[in-house]
Structure 1
Amino acid sequence: MRTEADFSPTWAVPPGRTISDLLASRRMPRDQVARSMNLSVDEFDDLLTGKSALTASVATQLEAILGASAAFWLRREEQYREQLAELTVGVDPETADYKAWLKSLPLKQMVDLGWIDGAVDKKAKLRECLEFFGVPNLDAWNRTYGGTREAAAFRTTEAYVESAPATAAWLRRGEVLADQIVCEDWNPALFEKQLSRVRELTLRPNPADFIPELQRLCAEAGVAVVLVKAPPGCRASGATFFATPTKAVLLLSVRYLSDDQFWFSFFHEAGHLVLHYDTESLILETTMDGPKSPMEEEANQFAAEQLLPSAFHPRMPEAAKSKFGIARLARDAGVSMGIVVGQLQHRGLVKREHFNKLKTRYTWS
């Protein structure tokens, strides 16, 4: 998500970033390393984000697990704390800028979703929010997230009022969760090949059953698939960005409850990675109200072709006449009936209110 320009002298990088990079390069599962250090996953996450200090005992454990000396880790911790102290001078929740920033964030929803703890004290609340975004001050936040629309490609819906801070919070949560997924290096050819196997997952009715397999298949091609509920003010239903030059992220908001909408959103974002990916300059998508950009049209066409290939299109008018016709077409195409219904509705072959009972409704935990 971040470009090189986002990193500046107003940035303090915790030693946890080095730990994360080493874990990723060595394909070491985060939860396994946490257990070996006698830490819970949450405690290990606090270490990675800099929320918890890297102590001498932790440095000794890291030396045994990752190889760098304990002295190296302690120096990294000392440097980070010094940088952080310099950068947080003047950070005051009573100033107008910080008051406005906190007010713009969907704090209640961030607490309800478990993204932050929900401190009551103003200073603690401000510190908690800055730590969530991984920045030391508002200037660094503006450098990193202020241009949210220039940092990712969004599928948006007209029904939601947009808030850049809410969208930034959603993206940040996706970034944090993606960091926990171990992926192979980005391989666009393999990713496109994996999509035929992903397509088979449309037949599974339970997200708890197909989401782990979806994530596994995509991770093999260097793509971390993350599902994050969107807070109020975040219009995005999907986004794609590169966490690193070798790791892509496909982020979905699980805004939709029906199988046709969910899978179209997934394959739309997959289309951007296949057709338009660029690890440095990321795609800007327009909202759905108004003319769509050529890239949006291409991603839509890609998704439609993946879900119901053009070879089946001549059969669609006949299938639209009955649920039995829909069932036959879905069986032959190897997708769910809901996907066929969604495509028929999109093409105007059936009314929007018809055959919706054939769609699978997902429940997202």
Structure 2
Amino acid sequence: MKIYKSIVAIPPGETIREELEVLNMSQSDFAKRMNMSEKTISHIINGEAPITYDTAFNLESVLGVPASFWNSYEAKYRENLKRIEEAQKLELEQSILEKIPYKEMIKKGWIEENKDKIEIIRNLKSFFRVSTLEILSTTESRIFDFYSNLQLGPLFKRTSDKEICEYSMATWIRRAENEAVRINTELFLKERVSEFIPEMKKLSLENTQESIDKLKELCRQCGIALVIVPHLKKTYVDGVAKWMGKDKALIALSCRGKRWDSFWFNFFHELAHIMKHSKKELFINAEETSNTEIEEEANNMAKTLLIPNVALKSILKSPTKENILSCSRELQIHPSIIVGRLQYEKVIPYTSFKELRENIKI
């Protein structure tokens, strides 16, 4: 018999032993009547060997107890043994559980609420599509390797009051992937993306959910699944770009900071990765990665797509409200995008033209 917490696994052999006592039959005699070795009978009685269908029918003849009883008993015993094994394994996974932002996930509705940590672990395994949480660092190796390499590099800026958690980042990206799987995109065509860029930019003029939905639809037609995933603590992520297959790309945005101009810059930043860089790479746009060479390249492309250099030079000469609005009309982009760029270039202070800046209204 094996007991673990509330799970009890009693081998059918216990009942065989009781039946032998009732019949006053020795184990040696029982073995002869079963036409089996004493060693095999000992293993069956101790639960070390299973009762097969043949053995169950022999037990019915020798002990007078139906074969169906023994088959059912054996199945239940093996099931409970497996439950004990799983419960013990799940307990080992609790050390990993503490690294995963499961409380935030519950609040956001990403996994079901449950007070039992064992059940939470089961829900997380379904979320990540893994048999055990212990292999997350393997299945999500690109994320873990990315941050391991980043910490060794000269540009890593982690401070004592800012902690990046690889498990949180893996969670955020997995949520994005799970949402993207449900989006039935057209086959990716770079030419179509280029064709749609002016229309995409024009959508920035109206800060509404409808504009976001239209942007998602344009992306879908281009072969890109665009998803908005709420920011998670310890990620500091603005966006991620990756390929989910040969003809389908993923862009995920967190809307961290909630500024409308940041939303559009981050979108075109991730679009730049999809248009320009390797399909084998995972591109994470977060505070800790902002100065890497490949991210700078995506930054420059995003800046140019939103505000061409000719238009930028013009507005830099006279960054007045009137000129900003005029430039906004000419480029068909929201004025907050121009204000944000001027602030980034330190042409105007961050306190200027607050009336032209907007937070995301979704």
TM-score computed with the length of structure 1 as normaliser: 0.68
Partner of 2:121: 126
| CA–CA distance in structure 2, aligned partners of residues 157 and 239 of structure 1 | 19
Secondary structure in 2 aligned to 1:267?
helix
Q: Which 4+ stretches in 1 moved above 6 angstroms? A: 93-96, 156-159
| CA–CA distance in structure 2, aligned partners of residues 314 and 325 of structure 1 | 12
State the one-letter code of the partner of 2:189. N
Structure 1 residue 311 displacement after superposition: 1.8
Secondary structure in 1 aligned to 2:98?
helix
Partner of 2:328: 330
| CA–CA distance in structure 1, aligned partners of residues 243 and 135 of structure 2 | 20
**Closer, same or farther in 2 for the Cα pair 1:101/1:290, shift >3 Å?**
closer
State the one-letter code of the partner of 1:133. F
| CA–CA distance in structure 2, aligned partners of residues 286 and 212 of structure 1 | 22
The structure with more radius of gyration: 2
**Closer, same or farther in 2 for the Cα pair 1:139/1:100, shift >3 Å?**
closer
Conserved 8 A contact 1:93-1:123: no
Superposed, 1:214-363 pairs within 5 Å as 214-278=215-279, 281-283=280-282, 288=287, 292-320=291-319, 322-363=320-361
**Count of paired positions:** 274
| CA–CA distance in structure 1, aligned partners of residues 260 and 193 of structure 2 | 21
Conserved 8 A contact 1:286-1:292: no
| CA–CA distance in structure 2, aligned partners of residues 233 and 303 of structure 1 | 26
| CA–CA distance in structure 2, aligned partners of residues 307 and 150 of structure 1 | 32
Compute the RMSD of aligned alpha carbons: 2.9
Partner of 1:11: none
Superposed, 1:1-365 pairs within 5 Å as 90-92=85-87, 97-150=92-145, 161-206=163-208, 208-278=209-279, 281-283=280-282, 288=287, 292-320=291-319, 322-364=320-362
TM-score computed with the length of structure 2 as normaliser: 0.69
Structure 1: stretches of 5+ with no match in the other structure:
1-86
State the one-letter code of the partner of 1:238. G
| CA–CA distance in structure 2, aligned partners of residues 231 and 88 of structure 1 | 33
| CA–CA distance in structure 2, aligned partners of residues 290 and 134 of structure 1 | 27
Structure 1 residue 277 displacement after superposition: 3.3
Structure 1 residue 356 displacement after superposition: 2.5
Secondary structure in 2 aligned to 1:104?
coil
State the one-letter code of the partner of 1:258. R
Conserved 8 A contact 2:186-2:221: yes
Deviations 1:31-64 (Å, cap 9, x if unpaired)?
xxxxxxxxxxxxxxxxxxxxxxxxxxxxxxxxxx
Structure 1 residue 91 displacement after superposition: 4.3
Structure 1 residue 112 displacement after superposition: 0.6
**Closer, same or farther in 2 for the Cα pair 1:157/1:252, shift >3 Å?**
farther
Conserved 8 A contact 2:236-2:287: no
Structure 1 residue 243 displacement after superposition: 1.6
| CA–CA distance in structure 2, aligned partners of residues 269 and 187 of structure 1 | 16
State the one-letter code of the partner of 1:295. I
Conserved 8 A contact 2:125-2:131: yes
**Closer, same or farther in 2 for the Cα pair 1:277/1:191, shift >3 Å?**
farther
Secondary structure in 1 aligned to 2:131?
coil
Conserved 8 A contact 1:237-1:254: yes
Deviations 1:219-275 (Å, cap 9, x if unpaired)?
111100000002211221100111222211001011131111110000000001111
Conserved 8 A contact 1:224-1:248: yes
Percent identity among equivalent residues? 25
Deviations 1:321-344 (Å, cap 9, x if unpaired)?
x21221111111211110110111
Deviations 1:267-291 (Å, cap 9, x if unpaired)?
000001111031xx21455854588
| CA–CA distance in structure 2, aligned partners of residues 249 and 140 of structure 1 | 24
State the one-letter code of the partner of 1:338. S
Deviations 1:198-226 (Å, cap 9, x if unpaired)?
111110111x1111111111111110000
